[in-house]
Homo-oligomer: A and B are copies of this chain.
Amino acid sequence: MTKKTKIRQTGCPVAFGLDIFGDRWTLLVIREIMLRGKRTYSEFMEMEEEIATNILIDRLKALEAEGLVNKTRDPENRRSFLYALTKKGRDLAPILLEIIIWSGAHDARSFALTDVLEKIEADRDGFEHELRSE
């Protein structure tokens, strides 16, 4: 796994968060799990943004190392693994939510998750609770 440069241990919570998920891919993997119910390496590989295999595995390992996901063998397919969010990972829900709201407000073309946006607008707390619950 690529050594993650953390020059940011300044005690600032913004910097702390960015050290963990402030890159171009981590939150997209979280999105796949949280919003789309993806659970396996090959399911993640199907995301439309075309993540490279080495980057994906790197992010999955980093997420596991940081305690945001855990990895278990799939009992129903023993050559597969299941990645699931921990509480620490599920707690990213409000951040993802606010990003979606911001983009909804500022990008005319945010069409892909329109249904999600509508749900959020109708009942933000309900939607958030839905995301956080396993």
Q: Which residues of A contact B (CB under 8 A)?
A: 7-18, 22-24, 27-28, 31, 35, 48-50, 88, 91-92, 94-107, 109-113, 117
Copies in the complex: 2
Task: Jot down 21 A-B pairs with beta carbons below 8 A, ordered by A.
Answer: A9-B109, A10-B48, A10-B112, A11-B109, A11-B112, A11-B113, A13-B99, A13-B112, A14-B27, A14-B28, A14-B96, A15-B28, A16-B107, A17-B100, A18-B27, A92-B102, A94-B101, A94-B102, A95-B98, A95-B102, A97-B98
Q: Which residues from chain B contact A15 at a C-beta distance below 8 Å?
A: 28, 49
- The CA of A24 and the CA of B38, in the complex, are separated in Å by 26
A contacts with B: majority SS? helix
